[in-house]
Structure 1
Amino acid sequence: MKQTLLAIFLLLPLLTQAQLNESFSDGNFTQSPSWVGNTDGFIVNQQNQLQSNGPAVTGTILQLATPCQAVAGTTWEFWANLKLATSARNYVDVFLVSDAEDLHNTNTSGYFVRIGGTADEVSLFRKDAGKTAVNIINGEDQTTGSSNNGVRVRVTRSEDYVWELATDMTGTGDSFVNQGATTDATYKRSGYFGLLLHYSSANNQHFYFDDFTITDTEPPVPEEPQTVSQQELTLRFHGPLQEETAQQETNYTLNGGAKPVIAELLEPETVRLVFSQNFNTGNNRLTIASLSDIYGNALPFPVEVAFTFSPPAVLPGYNELLVTEIMAREAPAVGLPPQEYIELYNPTNKVLTLQGIHYSDATATTTLPNVQLQPGEYAVVVPNSQVADFSQFGRVIGISNFPSLNNSRELLQLRQPNGSLIYAVSYSDTWYKNNSKSNGGWSLEMIDVSNPCAGVENWAASVDPRGGTPAQANSVATSNPDNTAPVLLSTVAIAPDRLLLHFNEPLDSVQAANVTHYKIDPAVSIINVEVQAPLFTEITLQLSEQLQERRQYTLVATGLTDCTGNLSGALEATFALPSAPEPGDVVINEVLFNPRPNGADFVELVNRSDKYIDMKNWQLANISNDSIADMRSVATANYVLEPGQYVLLTSSPENVKMNYPAARKEVFLSMSSLPSYPDAAGAVVVLQPDGLAADRFSYDEDMHFELIDDVNGVSLERIRPEGATTASNFHSAASTVGYATPGYRNSQSQENIQAQQKFQVAPKVFSPDADGYEDFTTINYSSSQAGLVANITIFDTQGREVRKLARNELLASDGFFQWDGLRQDGTKAAIGYYLLYIELFDLNGQMSVYKEKVVVGGRL
């Protein structure tokens, strides 16, 4: 191409004088201009005409050609005389436009005027490489049928590629007759003008030509630019350009201001322009000024050409295609069609293709169709059968096998055809932040689409009156940037040599996989780090050695960044290797089975062992027909209880916190639902992963302190953590704490008292007023003798029986009885002294009697 351009540019001095003006007055055709081809087959005769003089052989073909680039906005004119009877073997093709010097080559393309032929006419043809020529303007037949066919021919081609053919059969140029017109823009470049003669032996000297003129007085006309990339285009003109003006960057202006950094003449009529800024997606304009063609025709004023740019569609990368709205619970419908849907959004400046992208939930996967999303465009995805119902809202994408969305919790993923992750979101019904809207008809909407890594903080229930905004900007849209560093939520030893770290937001997965970011004390080496896809909120650390049980370790993670780029400082967490549980390690510490109206039940557990115990795969149950029933999973993920730690199980943490503001929500463990615990009586059963019952508590509403007027919302609390899970070891929570202590030390909790003798009363003075301070007294006992049976009767100072506290109770080796200050009839005992009369029987029937004093106190 460079050699071709060089040859053309060497001809510019000649071409700029005149496109072509050849009258053969100089007596030759080898100079000014130079003709090439069968030069020995032509002469310039005494009349200064070009005359054929080839061999007298039938079937001879002669050709002459001269360089010429005129192609549009051009007039071709010449005189010819075929002093012969034209026929299928005797005619001439005058090539106006040719891409090759060899006009006879079957692969040559261009346009020519044929004089003669079977129809004895003057017509315009188009020649396509390797094909038979096509007549595009059919001249009048039998106009060249005599033996002296002098004719002057004029052909014009406008800048819009409209051809016109005219002939003057007088040859004077004064009587042109129009032969027709047509539009043909097949070929927009030319290299040569020339003659191609066909004759029989008797006609070798009977072709005469003169007055060849080719004129182009039109300034260069640009076509619509063709974009090559986001910053490069090619600009083609209807004729060859002057190199100097074509390559002047200041002659071009993009969209009113930008100049190209490169202006390069690729071909005589084609300019390459490269800009430092991207084209606008959609409409653009290019202003062109001061250009000239090689014939000296200059643009008289700036010309503006418009073009559109659509970036090539590409597959989205990570977070380049987002799920920005989720209708998981479509009924009862508010204003939208009752159909589950997701909304997709293109946050990039690219055109995205969705072809082959896999959309999946936990159980099903479907493939998106071959559609494109423009930059900033939303689209709603629904089953094919629902496309018509959603078309009123905007762009709709219908798919088959639409994965059904869970109402409460679901992981959604978008992946490239090769499996690479594009986007993932794990939503839950807590993301609505509105209990009524979570019941159906309202969508979840992303708040800030420029913050796709955020979870619950960047989602909320739609506030649009229709219940959602499918295929439209979200109703909750506002700026909600992530300016905070990631937080380490938990560190759990999931195996003796593996740790699982859980963070509050997605991490930069490449950076987080570097082992140098983590240290353990006491020192344990980390040999591998794996960031868990698709959410990148969990990290697994592989250790070089096994951890020891009942030993606390400290992990420090430093220099981690979230996917937004926020850098963390030192993140510290303690952990230990969980031990296998045994029944009685984790026990029931508090139960609310009769909540306030519209309240929620809860069960609180406490780890009273010295072990670290993982609650994963534990279950909560009840008793039905004397069998364990209605089992519900406590936790499907790791949740480690430290020694002495509480955990509160409920299906509605927000409700519990609302009713008991002092509750420690950080120890709440939310369950989808609790087993049924009736208000009157029932049983709470806690099951270990091995199926054994860790603890069991049979409750009854009569266990509540009888002086409490309304027991709704009053929990039963364990008195002594080390004591047995029996009615005597539970008491109503105190009024001073709001009648429950979810997540923290029980209001009625007592330290275990070891009786120094057979029986010991503590406290000696108590006030049964439900204020949480010494609301009852305990009769503690201890004995190494087995099989002892006790009776306990309470008398006032007058010797009158007040209450039978225990009758024929078989004693353990140690334990206690509690007296809540109530008489046998349920009324409160008067303030004053009381006598505890204790009868103890052994296996032989021998009786021992013990007497202890206690004082019932209170306000006077």
Structure 2
Amino acid sequence: MKQTLPQSFAQKINSLIAAFASKSFRYASISSRKFLRHTYLESIKPAYKSDLAGVFILLLLPFLAAAQLQETFSDGNFTHNPTWSGDAGSFTINPQNQLQSAGPAVTGTILQLTTPSQAAVGTTWEFWANLRLATSASNYTDVYLISDKQDLKAPDVNGYFVRIGNTADEVSLYRKDAGKAAVMLINGQDKTVATSNNVVRVRVTRSIHHEWELSIDVSGTGQSYMSQGTATDATHKRSLYFGVLLRYTSANSQRFYFDDFSITDTQPPVLEELQTVNPQELILRFNEPLQPEQAQRITNYTLNGSINPIVAEFTGEATVRLVFGQSFSTGTNELRINNLQDLYGNSLATPILSSFSFIPPAVLPGYNELLITEIMADENPAVGLPAQEYIELYNPTSKVLRLQGIRYSDATSTAILPDVQLLPKEYAVVVPNSQVQQFSQFGKVIGISNFPSLNNSGELLQLRQPNGSLIYAVNYADTWYKDNAKREGGWSLEMIDVTNPCAGIENWTASTDPRGGTPAQPNAAATFNPDNTPPILLDAITTSPDRVILRFNERLDSTQAASITHYSISPSINIASVQVQGPLFTEVILILASPLQERQLYTLTAQSITDCAGNRSQPLTATFALPSAPAPGDVVINEILFNPRPGGVDFVELVNRSDKYINLKGWQLANVSNDSVSNLRSITAAPYVLAPGQYVVLTSNPENITANYPASREETLLRMSSLPSYPDDAGTVVVVQSDGKVADRFSYEERMHFELLDDVNGISLERVRLEGPSTASNFHSAATTVFATPGYKNSQSQVGVQAQRVFEISPKVFSPDGDGYEDFATINYRTDKTGLVANITVFDAQGREIRKLVRNELLEANGFFRWDGLREDGAKANIGYYIFYIELFGLNGEKSEFREKVVVGGRF
């Protein structure tokens, strides 16, 4: 029959229940339970024990829930709930439900027993021990609060333990690092365990800030704890096991007793570290293990107020990886963390707000990722800046750029940039080392030891990676100023729109800042200036039978432009490969599968060509032909302006009068000094193919020519750095082929101009007949209606007349008024004899001699003489009839006479 508890004992139990319900009870639960068990359970009848055990379990349930380890050995074993492992055969549970050592009676024995435990921070450890022996260096116990190894005997254990005993007979806290001797963190009071029956209750707390406190109660009840000291140590933040380690001599093998192990964590997880892995990824490390389900919920993380990650990966017991769909903001970002729990159910009471600064890792810039946005090429006279050449660099990306080793070059020299970083959207000015202090007031300054000197007129500047890969190139020119006054010095060139880096003159201009420039600062000229127009194919030329060069007006998408599918040639020739020429990517070389034929005109079609800004073209076409070897006289001087207007410049016009296509690359323009060809100037270093009948105008300033002669053909103007000197009174123009032969030569004098002109400044001399010789008789002043005809048909051009008789006049009526229409008459001749000499005299209708036109001229087989309508005294002949009296003399003294009529007309 079941027995009932005595009423007096039931009252005591009720009283104890009330005590358990009070908030002040806290950690006294274990010691009170031990007090109950030893005081009451052991004194009552065995029949009541089973009923009372159920009562104790009910009383302790709330405290068991709060504790992460609660081991009282009341179940009589240590094999489950929880499971202990190690030297299990050397321990036992004694009749008092205590863990007791039972190892071999051998001096130097070391025993260990562990159970899983991940609590490490914000935790309280508590246990009861009784060492019924005199502690010494050979008799003590280490209770491991934290261990990363299951085998506590292993030399590579990391963790913390409480040592009871040892030579000072104390209770102390130690840290154990793998492979090293233990380090004492808290040195407990000596002689606290100095008897042969040492009862002690130990409590260790570790705050979330890694502040440790060691307390002991030598009464064993847990009611009289005394602090042994504090320490701060964060070396080990993770745990896998809790356990005991014993060392003893043979007589003490069964004298270690343990009970009431309790590990309690009531603190929510704390974010210890936030690490940026890349611009879109974070690693979060917490002070303790997390509940995986909450840790992987993306809604628990919010970046900068509104952005949730696309991935929240629980990568370890206390580590979370977050991946976002967009990059972090450069500078300060804020991460908000909600609802996380640790393994023991402790939740965040308030969100964690963690600010972090993101500066992307520095990388070498790629193509167009580092720009030259300002160029001070002509620093004198200084306007408001130090009188020093400089370039300005700009980082248009969201990356941090590493400039170390980048090569900055002009046409003749290269400088290496130092170990400097450029933040996103940051500017920096590059100057010689000696000028760094002078420019520091403006912003970031980069000093280099061998600053390449900048040409005032312009040149190609490049930025390349250490391995030579192109970053950026700009081929500036002084025409980019678009302001003649600022062009003279003291003003920088500024890029207008930094988002349009591929553009040339249309995206650069003179600075508008009163100082003359804006080094290391946003440009004064900055404004929105996008490129919305597709590329234009300027021309196609050949340099060899199997190569065609295409030139475009702007930079291309080099990858897209390298595809063979965009190009075709008619008559059909297969294209073997395509090369896009850097660093400006405005030229494309087509490598042909079979050779081109001379004197054959081809048509190139380029389709869907994309520029650097992404604009795609409609089909583009250009004609070309394979150049032939030139012969002297194929390309001749067709027009020369040697006496320009004030402020004007000279020009020389050439024309290809052959049926060949002739490449002017390597040709030179010269004059004559001391009867020798001298002062040679390169016409062009690039291929420039002149088609049959095509004109080219050589000048140092094409813009000046178009300003003075609006009808000039801009596409025929070819800029030379300078022309040889051609004086106003007289000189000689010489054209030299690439093979060194003289293509043509013309000696001029100012008096060759039509004598009735009041002012010859700005009026060119033009070739009259294309096939005629480069002599004075075949040149005439340009019509006063145009003054010059650069790039198109001469105003005084005359088609050759094939004489049907020995002499023939054309036109028979002319008007020498300089209007460009029949301003002179030509006396054309044809003879089948050689060695004939001619005299030509002009008579008026009354038979009066007015002009000796030709005297003792040796005739060619075909040719002409010209009369400009002027008398011997330089006056204009009156309107009316005139007679050309022509005398021919042969080698043997024979003589022939001819009379031809001509009419001088005029306006009425």
Asked if TM exceeds 0.5, the reply is: yes
Moved more, 458-467 or 650-659: 458-467
Query: What is the CA–CA distance in structure 1 between the aligned matches of 2:79 and 2:565, rounded to whole Å?
Result: 82
Amino acid at match of 1:423: Y
For 2:552 and 2:895, locate their aligned partners in 1 and report how far apart those are by CA, in whole Å.
64
Q: Quick one: distance in 2 between partners of 1:68 and 1:521?
A: 83
- 1:767 paired with 2:815, answer yes
Shift of 1:81: 4.4
Alignment equivalent of 1:782, drawn from 805, 830, 839: 830
Matching residue of 2:397? 348
The residue aligned with 1:8 is none
Instruction: After TM superposition, give the deviation of residue 17 of structure 1 in Å.
Output: 4.9
Q: CA deviation at 1:101?
A: 1.9
Aligned to 2:614: 565
Amino acid at match of 2:710: P
Counterpart Cα distance in 2 of 1:479 and 1:245: 48
Listed as ranges, the matches of 1:273-288 within 5 Å are: 273-288=322-337
Q: 1:417: Cα distance to partner?
A: 4.2
Contact 1:15-1:294 at 8 Å conserved across structures: no
Is the 2:402–2:419 Cα contact (8 Å) retained in structure 1?
yes
Please show how residues 800-839 of structure 1 align to structure 2 within 5 Å: 800-839=848-887
Report the CA distance between 1:713 and its aligned residue. Answer: 1.1
- What residue is the counterpart of 1:428 in the other structure? 477
Match of 1:546 among 578, 586, 595: 595
Residue 136 in structure 1 maps to residue 185 in structure 2: yes
1:621-640 alignment runs, 5 A limit:
621-640=670-689
Q: Which moved more, 1:465-474 or 1:550-559?
A: 465-474
Q: Secondary structure at the match of 2:480?
A: helix
Decide whether aligned partners of structure 1 residues 517 and 294 sit closer, same or farther in structure 2, where only a CA change above 3 A counts. closer
Matched, 1:75 2:124: yes
Residue of structure 2 equivalent to 1:166: 215
Q: From 232, 243, 246, give the equivalent of 1:194.
A: 243
1:390 partnered with 2:404: no
Q: Kindly state the Cα deviation for residue 402 of structure 1 after the two structures are TM-superposed.
A: 4.1
Pairwise CA distance, 1:596: 1.1
Cα distance change on mapping 1:476 and 1:279 into 2, 3 Å: same
Q: Is the 8 A contact 1:99 1:108 kept in 2?
A: yes
1:181-220 to 2 correspondence within 5 Å? 181-220=230-269
The 1-side partners of 2:565 and 2:837 are apart by: 66
Please name the residue that 2:29 is paired with: none
Instruction: Give 1:740's aligned amino acid.
Output: A
SS state at 1:723 partner = coil
C-alpha displacement at 1:420, in angstroms? 3.8
Counterpart CA distance in 1 for 2:684 and 2:143 is 91
Contact 2:273 2:286 in 1 (8 A): no
Task: Give the secondary structure class of the aligned counterpart of 2:235.
Answer: coil
- Deviation of 1:49 after TM superposition, in Å, equals 4.7
Could you tell me how far apart the structure 2 residues matched to 1:622 and 1:261 are?
75
Task: Compute the displacement of 1:435 (Å).
Answer: 3.8
Q: State the partner residue of 1:506.
A: 555
When Rg is computed on C-alpha atoms for both structures, the one with the higher figure is 2
Aligned runs of 1:393-792 on 2, under 5 Å? Answer: 393-737=442-786, 739-792=787-840
> Is 1:377 aligned with 2:435?
no
Identify the residue that residue 52 of structure 2 maps to in structure 1.
none
SS of the equivalent of 1:430 reads helix
Compared with structure 1, are the counterparts of its residues 544 and 250 closer, same or farther at alpha carbon in structure 2 (3 Å cutoff)? closer
Alpha carbons of 1:401 and 1:143: their partners in 2 closer, same or farther (altered >3 Å)?
Answer: farther
In 2, distance between residues paired with 1:412 and 1:841?
Answer: 68
2:628–2:661 CA contact under 8 A, matched in 1 = yes
Deviation at 1:810, TM superposition (A): 3.2
Shift of 1:356: 4.3
The 1:128–1:774 alpha-carbon spacing in structure 2 relative to 1, beyond 3 Å, is same
Q: Who is 1:250 aligned against?
A: 299
Q: Pick closer, same or farther for the CA change 1:147–1:397 going to 2, 3 Å.
A: farther
Query: What is the distance in 2 between the residues matched to 1:550 and 1:252?
Result: 74
Q: Distance in 1 between matches of 2:594 and 2:339?
A: 78
Tell me, what secondary structure is at the counterpart of 2:184? strand
Q: Which runs of 5+ in 2 are unaligned?
A: 1-61
Say if 2:66 and 2:264, in contact at 8 Å, map to a contact too.
no
Contact kept? 1:15, 1:295, Cα under 8 Å: no
CA distance in 2: counterparts of 1:377 and 1:334, whole angstroms: 25
Deviation of 1:150 after TM superposition, in Å, equals: 4.2
Q: Does 1:223 align with 2:239?
A: no
The residue type equivalent to 2:809 in the other structure is V
Match of 2:669, as an amino acid?
L
Following superposition, the deviation at residue 419 of structure 1 comes to 4.0
In 2, are the aligned partners of 1:224 and 1:305 still within 8 Å (CA)? Answer: no
Please tell me whether the aligned partners of residues 831 and 857 of structure 1 are also in contact (alpha carbons under 8 angstroms).
yes
State the shift of 1:624 in Å.
0.3
Aligned length: 848
Distance 1:264 1:768 in 2: 96
- How far is 1:671 from its partner? 0.6
Q: Which residue of 2 aligns with 1:858?
A: 906
Deviates more, 1:706-715 or 1:303-312: 303-312
Partner of 1:113: 162
**Is 1:794–1:804's contact at 8 Å kept on the other side of the alignment?**
yes
Letter in 2 for 1:67: P
CA displacement 1:642-671 (0-9 Å, x = unmatched)? 111111000000001101111111111111
- Per-residue CA deviations over 1:740-782 (Å, capped at 9, x if unaligned) read 1111111111122234444433333333332222323333333
Deviation at 1:353, TM superposition (A): 3.4
Choose the corresponding residue for 1:123, options 143, 158, 172. Answer: 172
CA distance in 2, matches of 1:495, 1:258: 60
- Give the whole-Å Cα distance in 2 for the aligned partners of 1:498 and 1:269: 65
**Does the 8 Å contact 1:152/1:170 carry over to 2?**
yes
Given that 2:142 and 2:163 are in contact with CA atoms closer than 8 Å, whether structure 1 keeps it comes out as yes
Deviating more after overlay: 34-43 vs 119-128 = 34-43
> Structure 1 counterpart of 2:67, which letter?
A
Q: Which residue type is aligned with residue 549 of structure 1?
A: E
Paired with 1:306 and 1:667, the residues of 2 have a C-alpha distance of 64
Equivalent residue letter for 1:488? L
Amino acid at match of 1:705: F
In 2, distance between residues paired with 1:91 and 1:696? 115
Q: Cα gap change, 1:190/1:15 in structure 2, threshold over 3 Å: closer, same or farther? A: farther
Report if aligned partners of 1:224, 1:307 keep a CA contact under 8 Å in 2.
no
Q: List per-residue Cα deviations over 1:347-368 (Å, max 9, x = no partner).
A: 3333333444444444444544
Instruction: Measure, in 2, the Cα distance between the counterparts of 1:293 and 1:589.
Output: 93
Are the aligned partners of 2:66 and 2:265 in contact in 1 as well (CA < 8 Å)? no
* Matched letter for residue 124 of structure 2: T
- Name whichever of 165-174 and 709-718 sits farther off: 165-174
Structure 2 counterpart of 1:36, from 82, 85, 97 = 85
How many Å separate the matches in 2 of 1:15 and 1:644? 106
Q: Does 1:18 align with 2:67?
A: yes
Paired with 1:14 and 1:179, the residues of 2 have a C-alpha distance of 26
| Distance in structure 2 (CA, Å) of the matches to 1:445 and 1:15 | 75
Which moves more between the two structures, 65-74 or 788-797? Answer: 788-797
Helix, strand or coil for the counterpart of 1:695? strand
Q: Is the Cα–Cα contact under 8 Å of residues 512 and 525 in structure 2 kept in the other structure?
A: yes
Letter in 2 for 1:165: L
2:676 aligned partner, one-letter code: S
TM-score w.r.t. the length of structure 1 is 0.91
Q: Distance in 2 between matches of 1:855 and 1:846?
A: 30
Alpha carbons of 1:245 and 1:493: their partners in 2 closer, same or farther (altered >3 Å)?
Answer: closer
- Measured in 2, the distance between the counterparts of 1:231 and 1:520 equals 49
| Cα distance change of structure 1 residues 462 and 155 upon mapping to structure 2, 3 Å threshold | same
Cα offset, 1:191, TM superposition: 1.6
Alignment TM-score, normalising by the size of structure 2: 0.86
